[in-house]
Amino acid sequence: MQQAIPNDKIPDAVSILGKKHRVVAPVSKGKSFVFSAIENPADVIIDYPTTILPLKKFFLPPIEVLLHYNRKSQAVSAPALQAEKTIYFGIHNYELQGLLRLDHAFHAGVHDDTWQIRRQGSLFVGVSYVPDEHHFAESVGIPTTLKEGFDLFLTRFDAHYRVESLTDEGAAMMKELAPVLVPCECAGDPVVHFKNKLRQSVAGIREIFHGAYTHPVWKKTARECHSCGTCNICCPTCYCFDVDDQTTLGTDEGARLRKWDSCQFLSFTAVAGGEAFREKRHDRVRHRMSRKFAYITDEKGQPFCVGCGRCVRQCTASINIVDVMNALL
Amino acid sequence: METKNIYVPEIAEIVRAEKMTAIEAFYEVRLPGGRDLGHQPGQFVQVSLFGIGEAPISICSSPLKKGSFEMVVRRVGNVTEALHRLSPGDKVGIRGPFGKGFCTEELRDKDVLFVAAGLGLPPLKSLIDTLLDEKERKKFGRVIVLYGAKSPAEFLFNDARAAWEKRKDIDYRVTVDRALEGWKGHVGVITTLIPELSLDLGNTVAAICGPPVVYKYAILALRSKGLRDEQIYVSLERRMKCGVGKCGHCQINSIYVCQEGPVFNYGKIRDLKEAIQ
Query: At a CB cut-off of 8 Å and minimum separation 6, what does A322 contact?
Result: A136, A139, A196, A197, A198, A312
pLDDT at position A103 is: 95
Burial of A179 per CB tally in 10 Å (0-12, 13-18, 19+)? exposed
Record: contact A272-B254, CB cut-off 8 A: no
Q: Give the contacts of A48 (CB within 8 A, at least 6 positions apart).
A: A26, A28, A33, A90, A129
Residues of chain B found within 8 Å of residue A291, distances taken between Cβ atoms: 251, 254
Task: Tell whether A296 is covered by a domain.
Answer: yes
8 Å CB contact of B248 and A270 = no
- Does B177 map to a domain? yes
- Same domain for B224 and B141, yes or no, is yes
Number of domains making up chain B: 2
Q: Which of A134, A153, A184 is the last residue of a domain?
A: A184
Are residues A138 and A21 part of one domain? Answer: yes
Question: Do the chains contact at A240 and B273, CB–CB below 8 Å?
Answer: no
Q: Does position A156 have pLDDT exceeding 90, yes or no?
A: yes
Q: What is the mean pLDDT of residues A84-109?
A: 95
- Percentage above 90 pLDDT, chain A: 83
- A157 interface with B at CB cutoff 8 Å: no
B72 lies in the same domain as B136: no
- Give me chain B's average pLDDT, please: 95
User: What is the per-residue pLDDT for A301?
Assistant: 80
Q: Where in the sequence is the domain holding A142, given as residue range(s)?
A: 2-61+80-184
**More confident call, B38 vs A295:** B38
Band (pLDDT 50/70/90 cuts) for residue A206 is confident
B224-239 pLDDT, tens per residue? 999 999 999 999 989 9
Mutate to test the interface with B, among A66, A84, A102, A110 (most CBs of B within 10 A): A110
- Using a CB-CB cut-off of 8 Å, the residues of chain B touching A287 are 251, 253
- Per-residue pLDDT, averaged over A219-239, amounts to 97
Domain contains A255: yes
pLDDT in tens, A291-324: 999 887 777 788 999 999 999 999 999 999 999 9
Supply the mean pLDDT for chain A: 94
- pTM for this prediction: 0.93
Enter the ipTM: 0.90
Contacts of A213 in chain B (CB under 8 A): 273
Range of the domain at B110: 104-235
CATH code (residue B76): 2.40.30.10
Specify whether B119 is located in the same domain as B180. yes
Which of A78, A240, A244 lies at the smallest CB-CB distance from B5? A78
CA dist B60 → A49, A257, A296, B17 (Å): 55, 29, 33, 14
In a domain, A68, yes or no: no
Residues of chain A in contact with residue B75, where contact means CB-CB under 8 angstroms, are none
B73 shares a domain with B168? no
CB atoms within 10 A of CB B257: 27
Closest CA in chain B for residue A213:
B273
pLDDT value of position B2? 44
Q: Is B35 on the interface with A (CB under 8 A)?
A: no
Question: How much of chain B, in percent, has pLDDT values that exceed 70?
Answer: 99
Q: Are residues B15 and B132 in the same domain?
A: no
